[in-house]
Structure 1
């Protein structure tokens, strides 16, 4: 499934036995008064698991899941962008057809899962929808696409996915494809391909937010230049915090802010990744978790937790994360920062293992001197502003 990124979910297991600490009483009131969104939720990976329900309370330690409806309420996460992720495959007619079928199925799976719980969570397509659902006491579910590979060379498919509710999409994932060079792939196009430049224009025409996470520096530069509307990075970290090509450098963060965009801060790539053969072997099983029986899922979880004790994947923790968050705000300003931790797709560190830890972030921002208004901008206002600024 999500190659390196999905595998990173293992990081949180090393430190988590209960699914994360519940917010302290002193932290919850301010956080719970705000509209809180996350821009990159990979939880749809789990929607097809046998015996698993989004409406049940799970724990990361027991179930390898960081987000469900009860814990969204615990952490006062009001919603976010649920991801249609497709693994990169061959750039062939069959590869495109297979990927398109998968992406359509994943979109349908998101819809069918939400439809089971209409009193708790509902689809959103506009910023106004998000605010209305929040007033109604319902959780908010936007759709995004990570990796536009399923579109093949047919950009008219973007209109189909727009009609399905897609409101954010990135051109590429961990390997270079027909649209763009990946931050972790070969530099085939020196940024965007000719098709990728047309992809930008069609995204603008439809009013879908362009997501530059996973794109190469050159592709980022070109999307920033070509887009008529502000763009976003849905789940990225700062390169000054850790030198990795997936992370954004401070000069580009400033350029992003100057064009009205925002970077949503992730918890991944804040240290080197300890990818061992044993971890890679378990990852091969994790890719098939949706097809596993409950007993097989439990066995995988047990082995993964045992490995975390001897071979932790990351060295970073909550303190490292907050240091980066505060630096990013200092560089870009509170109007250009948001949050996309990559929950259920690699996110989570010691001290911020799942979404129940989110009030700790708000508390730390308040301690750093940021106003309630600025903190709410970072949790939701900036994302909704960018969504509303897409010409629709």
Structure 2
């Protein structure tokens, strides 16, 4: 193990050795906290995973980060199923088709095992289904492309169960600029995007500012009459220059708005070392493509070759806890939760947080850092439920 990571630098070696020598011992208390309370993970990419290769996640599966047995082991009882739409489908009816198809998949999961799962479209659904021992499957749309500039489509997807919408994804779309896209065609939100935020408020669909540019974030905060969410984002102070994460000023603005940031577990979101590794890998891959072509043997073997020479520097549980600590210090315990991005970040998950069975590890880490039971219950789900309920109440009045 030491030889494989030696080329990555002494700092990475220290992290990995530390994580190995201090194995997580989960107490009965940590397991009980995870199992006895509503545990919301606001971003899990199961539907798109099933679109790529169908698996029956009501049973144990090979591969992937989520299935029923592992969810039960981890105490997960309200995972938001991400209806992820690739950025390439903006301004295409295929985005609507794919969104409906992915929602069908979630309904199929429930249809296969109604004694295990249930669709959830409200806070009350989640609470009632938790009391019955069911795993709730609320829906969030990652990338607003399927709205296609038509508020009728927004109503359609609300009726199909969508309860948050990530305004953009990896490219700017007809709604908002993306943090990943250097083209800032709207300098924030588009005119339609500004109207969309208002209509989402009226329906009770949470505005998700993960992925959007900084300007789009501040405009969404300014326009929204309800608290917003960052469904799967981490902190820029740990990954300088990575706009996909939120900086301290944005976190403070989110706190004033009453919103919540759900921490992404992906190593490249969590540590500067992993983030820098990803940037170097992308630069090298682009150079290989330009030299040999996208369909070349060199590209086909690139990932394995690159990783063999430069092993990936995985983040740790402690790294994720550092993000939670930072939010709490900035804006308080009421504004942070879990948005792991399981099934969405590939093989980049931290040590001790490799799939949905590992939430008790997170709880143990929080206990070890001095968080109270009530603090942990807020992080696990109460904070998100509070924001969701405020959005529901606003919609009921409008």
Match of 1:113 in 2: 109
Task: Output the CA distance in 2 between the equivalents of 1:50 and 1:330.
Answer: 42
Structure 1 counterpart of 2:374: 373
When structure 1 is superposed on structure 2, of 165-174 and 100-109 the one drifting more is 100-109
1:236 to 233, 236, 258: 233
Deviates more, 1:266-275 or 1:140-149: 266-275
Give the 5 Å matches for 1:124-135.
124-135=120-131
Within the alignment, does 1:258 sit opposite 2:256 as a pair?
Answer: yes
Correspondence for 1:225: 222
Match of 1:214 in 2: 211
Q: Answer whether contact 1:274 1:312 (CA < 8 A) is retained.
A: no
Q: Which residue of 2 aligns with 1:53?
A: 56
User: 1:50 offset after TM fit, Å?
Assistant: 5.3
Structure with larger RCO (C-alpha < 8 A, sep 6+): 1
Report the Cα distance in structure 2 between the residues aligned to 1:188 and 1:71, rounded to whole angstroms: 43
Give the whole-Å Cα distance in 1 for the aligned partners of 2:68 and 2:232.
Answer: 21
Give the deviation of 1:29 after TM superposition: 2.1
Question: What aligned pairs does 1:66-105 form with structure 2 within 5 A after superposition?
Answer: 66-89=65-88, 91=90, 95-105=91-101
* Counterpart-to-counterpart distance in 1, 2:323 and 2:101: 36
Q: Partner residue of 1:28? A: 31
Partner of 1:293: none
Q: Which residue of 2 aligns with 1:202?
A: 199
Aligned equivalent of 1:154: 150
Structure 1 gaps, min length 5: 1-13, 282-299
The alpha carbon displacement at 1:363 in A equals 1.4
Report deviation, 1:22: 9.6
Unmatched tracts of structure 2, length 5 or more:
1-15, 18-22, 287-299
- Residue 311 of structure 1 and its aligned partner are, at CA, apart by 4.2
Q: Does residue 1:175 correspond to 2:171, yes or no? A: yes
2:160 pairs, out of 156, 159, 164, with 164
- Between the aligned partners of 1:198 and 1:280, the Cα distance in structure 2 is 40
Question: Could you tell me how far 1:364 is from its partner in structure 2?
Answer: 1.6
d(CA) in 2 for partners of 1:199, 1:242: 31
SS of the residue corresponding to residue 389 of structure 1 reads helix
Aligned residue pair count: 350
1:2-13 aligned within 5 A: none
The TM-score normalised by the length of structure 2 is 0.81
1:27, 1:371 → 2: CA distance? Answer: 11
Q: Would the alpha carbon gap of residues 307 and 75 (structure 1) be closer, same or farther in structure 2, given more than 3 Å must change?
A: farther
Query: 1:200-349 residue pairs with structure 2 within 5 A?
Result: 200-243=197-240, 244-268=242-266, 269-270=269-270, 271=272, 272=275, 274-275=277-278, 276=281, 310-346=309-345, 348-349=349-350
Q: Distance in 2 between matches of 1:383 and 1:193?
A: 27
Flag the structure with higher helix content: 2
Q: Whole-Å Cα distance in 2 between the matches of residues 197 and 277 of structure 1? A: 33
The structural deviation recorded for 1:25 is: 4.4
CA deviation string 1:336-355 (max 9, x = no partner):
11110101001621221112
- CA distance in structure 2 between the partners assigned to 1:190 and 1:377 by the alignment: 35
2:47 equivalent among 26, 44, 49: 44
8 A contact 1:54–1:69 mirrored in 2: yes
Q: Given the two structures, how large is their TM-score scaled by the length of structure 1?
A: 0.82
The one-character-per-residue Cα deviations of 1:53-82 (angstroms, maximum 9, x if unpaired) are: 1022235xxx2x011110001111112210
Counterparts of residues 353-364 of structure 1 (less than 5 Å): 353-364=354-365
Distance 2:27 2:45 in 1: 26
**Is the 8 Å Cα contact of residues 255 and 335 (structure 2) preserved in structure 1?**
yes
Q: Distance in 1 between matches of 2:53 and 2:141?
A: 24
Cα distance between partner residues in 2 of 1:318 and 1:46: 24
